[in-house]
Amino acid sequence: MTRERFTSTGIGKLLTDGMALPILVVLALVVFFSFASDAFLTLRNLTGISGQASTLLLACLGATSVILMGSIDLSVGAMVLFVGAVTVKAINAFDLGIGALFVGLFTGTALGFGNGLIFAYGRIPSFVVTLGTLSVFTGAAWEILQGRALRYDSLIFEEMAIGQLIPRFPNIALIAILAWGLMVFLGFATRFGRYMYIIGGGEAVATTAGIPVRRYKIYAFMLSGMMAGLAGALAVARLGTAGPTLGQDLLLNTLAAIVVGGTSLSGGVGGVHRTLIGVLIIALLDNGLNLMGVNQYTQMMVKGGVVIGAVLVGQDRSKSTVMK
């Protein structure tokens, strides 16, 4: 979790270092909810959780790079909604089948490119840029949907998300895990990944050493858009519809999962490998509290508390290392 430790040795250490606490939290939640609700530890429910968590994980994958780089992308949920709406429109108009997935990927990348361009060339804080585009994308999506839920009819597209190549494990979860693996590789083993850490760790150093900071900032936002696009298309495939509330909970949930996982909002510390744990924590909380019959409002309060608590605990840990 601390700067001192995350670079200390190879990838093996990186994967485990500082992740003990978040993993313990996951285990504790599993134990707690399995006692609290009989329905929790059933195959049916676990399949359900993996489906729900997948959209969140996909949406977080690119956004983690943005946060690692020291910026923030608030428009992830809005991009999921917009891409979802566009994908349904495209399927209905052209009968694209699986090809609709590429419509989603492309649309998302284009939205992220827009975010990145405004951020890097307009020199506007990413918080402001993506808060603005959050509203723009949401409005545009509602315009497309005309405020209603749009249905489509393409079994093969639905199958991509809810089919089970591996029994009891929906395809969307398989895709999300594969995409996660790819992103972990991107983070650890490529120039792109290294530059994300460097820009987040010290942008002035990156500039002085001749790293094309602006270009990589745009790449990061494009990646965030692309993964939001994938999440949007697959969410639509899973739900069979694109409604006005699609992606609504992702604004809080993506940031919560990334931060709870242990990527620092100040940049340079963390990584997408941790985000998986954060996603599990958020998804388990959502599911478990639902099964226990806790109402929506209380759930929101609990989740907010968990996010703040995670940062508090995280800070504490890094402080203690600095002191020693």
Partner 1 sequence: MSKSFGGVPVLEDVDFSVSRNQVIGMVGENGAGKTTLFNIISGIVPADAGTMELRGGPFSPASYGEASALGVSRVFQEQALIPNIKVYENLLLSHEAAYARWGQLIDKTGMIATAQRVMDEAGLDIDVRLPTASYSFSKRQLIEIARACLIPTEVLGLHHPVVLLDEPTSALEKSDEEVFRRLINRLRDHSSIVLVSHRLTEVLELSDVIYVLKDGRLVATLDPDEADERILHGLMVGRAREADFYHESEQRAPDEAPFAFQVTGLSRSGQYQDMSLEVAAGEVVGFGGLLNSGKSEFGKGAAGIVPPDSGTVSLSGAAPERPVIRHLTPLGLGYVPAERLHEGLISGFSAAWNLSLAGGADTFATSMGLWQTQKEVKVTQEYIAALSIKARGPHDVCATLSGGNQQKVVLARWLCRDPRVLILDNPTRGVDAGAKEEIYKLIRGLSSKGVGILLITDDLLELIGLSNRIMVMQNGRITRVVEAPAHAKPSERELIEYMLSQAPPPMNAGVHHDMAAAS
Residues within the interface to partner 1 (CB under 8 A): 3-4, 7-11, 188-194, 197-198, 201-202, 204-212, 268-269
Tell me the closest approach of the beta carbon of residue 260 to partner 1, in angstroms.
21
What gap in Å lies between CA 300 and CA 121, rounded to an integer? Answer: 36
Query: Residue 198 Cβ, how far from partner 1 at the closest point, in Å?
Result: 6
Computed over its alpha carbons, how large is the radius of gyration of the chain?
A: 19
**Torsion 119-270-174-288 (CA) sign:** negative
Nearer of residues 170 and 262 to partner 1, judged by Cβ? 262
Considering beta carbons, is residue 74 or 269 the nearer one to partner 1? 269
Instruction: State how far Cα 234 lies from the chain centre.
Output: 13
At its nearest, how many Å lie between partner 1 and the CB of residue 1?
A: 12
Q: What letter would DSSP give residue 235?
A: H
Between 151 and 215, whose beta carbon lies closer to partner 1?
A: 215
Nearer to partner 1 among residue 198 and residue 285 (C-beta):
198
Q: Residue 215 is encoded by which pair of tokens? A: 């270009």
Q: Which helix (H) or strand (E) holds 151?
A: strand 150-151
- Residue placing its CB nearer to partner 1 in the complex, 248 or 318: 318
**Whole-angstrom Cα distance, residue 197 to residue 216?**
11
Cα–Cα distance for residue pair 197/183, rounded to 1 Å: 14
Measured distance CA(144)–CA(140) in Å, rounded = 6
C-beta closer to partner 1: residue 110 or 211: 211
Q: Which is nearer to partner 1, 36 or 189 (CB)?
A: 189
Q: Closest distance between partner 1 and the C-beta of residue 192, in Å?
A: 6
Tell me the torsion sign for CA atoms 313, 316, 320, 321.
positive
Provide the minimum distance between the beta carbon of 195 and partner 1 in the complex, in angstroms, as a whole number: 8
- Continuous segment of H or E residues that includes residue 112: helix 100-122
Q: How near is the Cβ of 2 to partner 1 at its closest, in Å?
A: 8
Q: Is the dihedral of CA 239, 242, 243, 245 positive or negative?
A: positive
CB of 46 to partner 1, least distance (A): 36
